[in-house]
Chain A
Amino acid sequence: MAGRLLLIWRLLIRGLRQHRTENVLLLVAITAATATLTLGLALNELVTRPYERTQAATAGPDLVVESGLTGPQALDALAPLATLPGVTEHSGPFPLAFLTLTARDTTVRVIVEGRDEAPAAVDRPALTDGTWIRAGGVVMERTFAEALDVHTGDTVTINGHPLQVTGFAVTAARAVYPQVHWHLPGGNLVEKGGLVWVDHRDITTLAGDRRLSYTLNLKLVDPQAGAQVVGRSTDDPRFRGWIFRSAGDIATSSGRQNRQAETALTVGSWLLTGLAIVGVAGIVAGRVIARRRQVGLLKAVGAGPGVIAAVHLAEYLVLGLAAAGAGLATGWFAAPLLFRPSPGFIGSVDVNPPLRMVVTATTFALAIAVAATLGPVLRAVATSTVHALADAPTPARRRRWLIWLSRRLPTALLIGVRINARRPHRARLVTMNTLITTTAIAAVLSILAQDDDPLNLGYSELPDPRNERTLQAMLIVAGVACFLALLNAIVSTWTAVLETRHPLAVARALGATPTQAGMGMAVAQLLPAAPGVVAGIPVGTGLYLFFDGERYPPASWALTAALGVLLGVALITAIPALAAARRPVADTLRAAAT
């Protein structure tokens, strides 16, 4: 046993050393797919963890209660809640006014919360810039300030009263902009808006003749208890018009901002997984063919199917593991850079990814490696020893209709058609490659085609950060998809060049020009790419519309994308094909003879 393990180890190490370029390509393909999956998973972490951190850092409440009443009646109604059993700590009631704020000619809804200069026991908004409130000043929730492009020291107007922005802060007591749940006092119609804090002495002036609402922040013995702590039941007349928000509700509302982007990344990671499998399968298929003689030799000296499978799989599993680590690290560390969860929270994700993410990403990377390699490896195991030792190419299958059809074509096309007929598996991989890439591009076009519904904030409209995040996510997916597709196209062309160098050399010896041979190779890639592009446009559009959106991208966009992908494939494949076709014929024929 030790001897066999030594042999497997030895072949593993030598294989890794000898095929560096292929190994790097495999590593990149699996890493890209794993990184995208990790991005999707990390986004979820990015949404939940920073809220938890912010809650801890700001002594965030477990339950926030807004009375349905206003003025002194609200204060009287809220006061007993602070001493209920199950409540450990409280702050407030703090006055609230549902007003409008104007900054840089933009007027939006705003919840104004009156606070003391001294920090409260529960919900102490954490300053990220500037200073805390003072008379005549205002502190803005950071996301809100960024959306309005307001800086500290600027002057904003609330209900016609100018106030100087003294700082920005974050809180866990309310969802981030624009999900702050602005509503009229006592009303249930919730609107989008922002949050600011002012000195409690200023709020009455700011509110003018509007009645003030009040909010109470509670810390509970059981943080999960939520509104149950006040003995509230459904349709309880005592609490009609009241608002109870648990920490979980607030986190969910804030997370809603990223939900579309998270879906885009998750679906995108499926697409990229497909691309990675296509890429890995292409490389592995070529590699297993190249190692056919080694399989024959191992069989001849008595290696059983297990040893042969182990020799092959070990290499790909090691690469899969390495790619899992690289993809996990890339996705985990890139996530906060690509997707700032929200400027409304403080802190970032943990330094180390959670164990379940490590397990998921590792399993995913290994699954790609195994899924792409198992077929070729099993075929290698089942290959006849004599056939493998002879390293004989798979004989071409005669297809009468194809021969009849292609003989009428120009030379370059004829060569391309015949090459594909010889390599149907490779042709299918090219089709899949372009199908998935075009799908990702079509999905991005579909996003761009949607009406970019702006946020209606009462009097002005602002861009919806949700749309921006979704587009950002899809652009990442499409970017990685194009990169992987480029990689796959180069690998596919190059393996085609290697596999067909002999017949092409013979064709050239019989009078085909290097351009005809090179163009034949390029056509061989382009022909199977065309159905992938044609199918990819409706698939990508349909995929996006399945999750969101209602408008199809204009036909001119789809046509441009399709032609662009085909042109890209043609360019990527023509260059190496033409370069290979210029190799002296004699060299190729001599190499094939030995």
Chain B
Amino acid sequence: MTGSMAVRTRGLSRWYGWDNALVRAVDEVDLDVPAGQTLAIMGPSGCGKSTLLHLLGGLQRPTDGEVWLADRRIDTMSERALARLRRDTIGLVFQSFHLMDELTAVENVEMAALLAGWSPGRARRRALHLLDQVGLADRATHLPSALSGGQRQRVAIARALSNEPQVVLADEPTGNLDTAATLEVLRLFEELRPTGQTLVVVTHDARIAAVADRVISMRDGTFADDSLLTGTGTGTVYGGVH
């Protein structure tokens, strides 16, 4: 039904409250994201972009409409099936990192793979490889409290990739980071492009949007603008900073 679309929604809505207090956080959104595309969703605070991301990741249930992810309709799935989908197909990156304080960096990274049923040895090899990729091989056994904000977010990105997900959903991944750390994250996202993973990023940051293939602007729960940017932007962002 969804063809080669990694993400597809039809009439997707999420409302809060009722009567005069009704808030249409996401209002009848139709979205198609082809596999391998990097999509940036931008918009002012409260426009519904984080809610949309949560709906795509099965973290929230829609009020109405359909959500398809990797050719599977997820809005009707049970919680158990959604959990299975998240551990096999989706990688999530949050603004607040959401690392487990009790676990070291490498243990945080391998967590998703362990939940996905990987053997401990394979999960550890994959986690170490990813930490090496994000430049934190020497911080593998550090607790999150011993890492800077940028390092924590890189660990979070490595964790999102540890189970080799088809779709990575990132919610304001640079929202809590300074400029240097933001550039580290940008570099990582850019390196994701050749791997063929689909990336959906919700952001305020124009530099993040600049590395995307496509940018959607949201306003009041609906798409105000949808632009394809393939082949543009990245160089400008890096060129401007370096």
Give the interface of A toward B (CB within 8 A).
Answer: 1-4, 6-7, 10-11, 14-15, 17-18, 293-294, 296-305, 307, 384-386, 389
What residue of chain A has the Cβ atom nearest to residue B98's Cβ? Answer: A297
Q: Which residues of B contact A302 (CB under 8 A)?
A: 83-88, 90, 112, 115-116, 163
Q: Which residues of B contact A2 (CB under 8 A)?
A: 119-120
| C-alpha spacing A219/B176, complex, angstroms | 87
CB pair A10–B103 under 8 Å, yes or no, is: yes
Also in contact, A305 and B79, with CB within 8 A (given A10-B103, A14-B102): yes
Mask: chain B, 63-99; 1 = CB below 8 Å from A; 0 = not: 0000000000000000110011111101010101011
Q: Which residues of B contact A4 (CB under 8 A)?
A: 114-115, 117
What residue of chain B has the Cβ atom nearest to residue A302's Cβ? Answer: B87
CB pair B119–A301 under 8 Å, yes or no, is: no
- Indicate whether B213 reaches chain A with its CB closer than 8 angstroms: no
Looking at the complex, which one of A18, A301, A304 makes contact with B80 (CB distance below 8 Å)?
A: A304
Q: Which residues of A contact B59 (CB under 8 A)?
A: 299-300, 384-386, 389
What residue of chain B has the Cβ atom nearest to residue A301's Cβ? Answer: B112
Q: Which residues of B contact A15 (CB under 8 A)?
A: 102
| C-alpha spacing A339/B163, complex, angstroms | 61
Q: Which residues of A contact B163 (CB under 8 A)?
A: 302
Q: Which of B60, B80, B96, B114 has the most CB of A within 10 A?
A: B114
Q: Which residues of B contact A17 (CB under 8 A)?
A: 102
What residue of chain B has the Cβ atom nearest to residue A7's Cβ? Answer: B114
CB pair A301–B115 under 8 Å, yes or no, is: yes
19 contacts between A and B (CB under 8 A): A2-B119, A3-B115, A3-B119, A6-B120, A11-B102, A14-B103, A294-B100, A297-B100, A299-B59, A301-B86, A301-B159, A302-B88, A307-B115, A384-B59, A385-B59, A386-B59, A389-B59, A389-B94, A389-B98
| C-alpha spacing A4/B112, complex, angstroms | 10
The list of the 4 closest CB pairs from A to B, nearest first, reads A302-B87, A3-B114, A14-B102, A302-B86
A15 to chain B, nearest CB (A): 6
- Indicate whether B219 reaches chain A with its CB closer than 8 angstroms: no
Q: Which residues of A contact B83 (CB under 8 A)?
A: 299, 302-305
- Indicate whether B118 reaches chain A with its CB closer than 8 angstroms: yes
Interface set, chain B 104-154, CB cutoff 8 A to A: 107, 111-120, 123
Q: Which residues of A contact B96 (CB under 8 A)?
A: 389
Looking at the complex, which one of A14, A303, A384 makes contact with B87 (CB distance below 8 Å)?
A: A303
- Indicate whether B54 reaches chain A with its CB closer than 8 angstroms: yes
Q: Which residues of A contact B117 (CB under 8 A)?
A: 1, 3-4
Query: From DSSP, what is the main secondary structure of chain A's interface residues?
Result: helix
CB pair B54–A386 under 8 Å, yes or no, is: yes
What residue of chain A has the Cβ atom nearest to residue B101's Cβ? Answer: A18
What residue of chain B has the Cβ atom nearest to residue A18's Cβ? Answer: B102
Q: Which residues of A contact B112 (CB under 8 A)?
A: 301-302
Q: Which residues of A contact B113 (CB under 8 A)?
A: 3
Q: Which residues of A contact B103 (CB under 8 A)?
A: 10-11, 14
What residue of chain B has the Cβ atom nearest to residue A306's Cβ? Answer: B80
What residue of chain B has the Cβ atom nearest to residue A390's Cβ? Answer: B96
Q: Which residues of A contact B159 (CB under 8 A)?
A: 301
Q: Which residues of B contact A386 (CB under 8 A)?
A: 54, 59-60
Q: Which of B102, B119, B120 has the most CB of A within 10 A?
A: B102
Q: Which of A293, A297, A299, A307 has the most CB of B within 10 A?
A: A297
A22 to chain B, nearest CB (A): 14
CB pair B102–A301 under 8 Å, yes or no, is: no
- Indicate whether B43 reaches chain A with its CB closer than 8 angstroms: no
Q: Contacts A300-B59, A301-B87, A304-B83 known; list 6 others, CB within 8 Å.
A: A2-B119, A3-B115, A11-B100, A302-B83, A307-B115, A384-B59
Also in contact, A6 and B114, with CB within 8 A (given A301-B159, A305-B79, A386-B60): yes
| C-alpha spacing A296/B99, complex, angstroms | 11
What residue of chain A has the Cβ atom nearest to residue B116's Cβ? Answer: A302
Interface set, chain B 159-184, CB cutoff 8 A to A: 159, 163
Q: Which residues of A contact B62 (CB under 8 A)?
A: none
CB pair A10–B107 under 8 Å, yes or no, is: yes
- Indicate whether B36 reaches chain A with its CB closer than 8 angstroms: no
- Indicate whether B57 reaches chain A with its CB closer than 8 angstroms: yes
What residue of chain B has the Cβ atom nearest to residue A391's Cβ? Answer: B96
What residue of chain B has the Cβ atom nearest to residue A303's Cβ? Answer: B115
Mask: chain B, 6-49; 1 = CB below 8 Å from A; 0 = not: 00000000000000000000000000000000000000000000
CB pair B102–A300 under 8 Å, yes or no, is: no
